[in-house]
Amino acid sequence: MAILCWMARAMAELGVEQAVHGLSIWVRRVYHADMPFLAAITEIAAARYERSLVLLRNCIEDDTLSETFRGMLKDIRVDVLSRLRHPLFLDAMSCPTEFSLWNEAEKLDGQVPSGIDADSFTRLKQLSMYGKIEPAEISSGITWNLVDTAHRLETKLLQTLRRPEVVSMRENIASMARLVVVTDGGQRLHGRLAALNHIAGSVLRKMSRKGQLDAELNAAVLSDLAASFLTDDGEIGDAGERLRLGRQLTLWAERLGCSNPAQLHLPLAKLARKTGNPMVAGVHLHKASSSPILINNSPVLNSLRVAVQGTKM
């Protein structure tokens, strides 16, 4: 079962929904059994991340599965949360039950969700929330895990106030990107590192004003980090990767003081709605709209919410 999980996860990373679906059918024919975790991973491959969280929670709560295997599913869930970067899912008291990472005892005690180490959970919250970040010691982690290393560098970028540190960080990111190219590590990973390097460049621009007015500087940063290009090509490209990248760029644009909410948030709202992630779409529409009440009553978002919630039934 663990091998099937790793195979399906690799397919989901490539965004090939039909391949995961085919694997599920093969398992049913050969082993005469349904494996619900494959349905959850199929949703990840299709970028329906919110629905996948509901299905993953159902699997993780299945006591017939081994603790080791449930740990693998929890690791997949952390990866999904790092793509969405939605603070609601990381708030024990506000998160809807069907998405919750906590059991009732953990929720009442304010504990870190089981299966997630405290360092990873803190880093995930910091990358998902707009606001002041408390300085904390960031461990180096496992150097060969470039995805984890990139997250650690991004967290460090949130905390640093010194220009030389950002310059050094960009050099490290560039070295990692070269390593990915030389070792044929894949376009997605190289793209993620390129995006992080681009964000670090925007942070440097913000640090070195050089006489620019705040309005001019914010406009320049918005031009650098606006995610509209992610929706301009229609069906071209991996929708899940575009949504992940868009969430990352938009949060950084907010942190760096951009002040044009419609230009910043509407493209991501459209992409989130198109991929069936109504809660993320709602966040962006709220920020882009002067009338959040109308957004709450949107028939399209309401129908998507019902579909996601119905997954648990």
Mean pLDDT of 64-80: 93
pLDDT on residue 233: 60
Sign of CA dihedral 271, 275, 278, 279: negative
List Cβ neighbours of 232 (8 Å cut-off, separation of 6 or more): none
Mean pLDDT of 291-308: 58
Predicted confidence (pLDDT) at residue 82 exceeds the cutoff of 70 = yes
pLDDT on residue 301: 57
Predicted confidence (pLDDT) at residue 209 exceeds the cutoff of 70 = no
Mean pLDDT of 73-100: 91
pLDDT band at 263 (very low <50, low <70, confident <90, very high): confident
Predicted confidence (pLDDT) at residue 285 exceeds the cutoff of 70 = yes
* Cα–Cα distance, 162 to 69 (Å, whole number): 43
pLDDT on residue 267: 83
Predicted confidence (pLDDT) at residue 305 exceeds the cutoff of 70 = no
pLDDT on residue 12: 93
Predicted confidence (pLDDT) at residue 210 exceeds the cutoff of 90 = no
Q: Tokens 């949107």 identify what position?
A: 298
Give the least confident one: 31-35, 37-41, 199-203, 253-257: 253-257
pLDDT on residue 72: 94
pLDDT on residue 117: 84
CA distances from 218 to 203, 212, 224, 226, 260 (A): 11, 10, 10, 11, 9
pLDDT on residue 232: 65
CA distances from 246 to 91, 165, 266, 310 (A): 22, 25, 11, 27
pLDDT tens for 87-141 read 999 988 888 888 989 887 777 777 788 888 888 888 899 899 876 666 655 555 5
Helix (H, G, I), strand (E, B) or coil at 131: coil
Mean pLDDT of 225-241: 70
What is the percentage of the chain residues whose pLDDT exceeds 90?
A: 30
Mean pLDDT of 187-195: 87
* Cα–Cα distance, 301 to 293 (Å, whole number): 13
What mean pLDDT, rounded, does the chain reach? 82
* AA identity, residue 170: R
Which two three-digit tokens encode residue 245?
């990248």
Rg, the chain, Cα only:
20
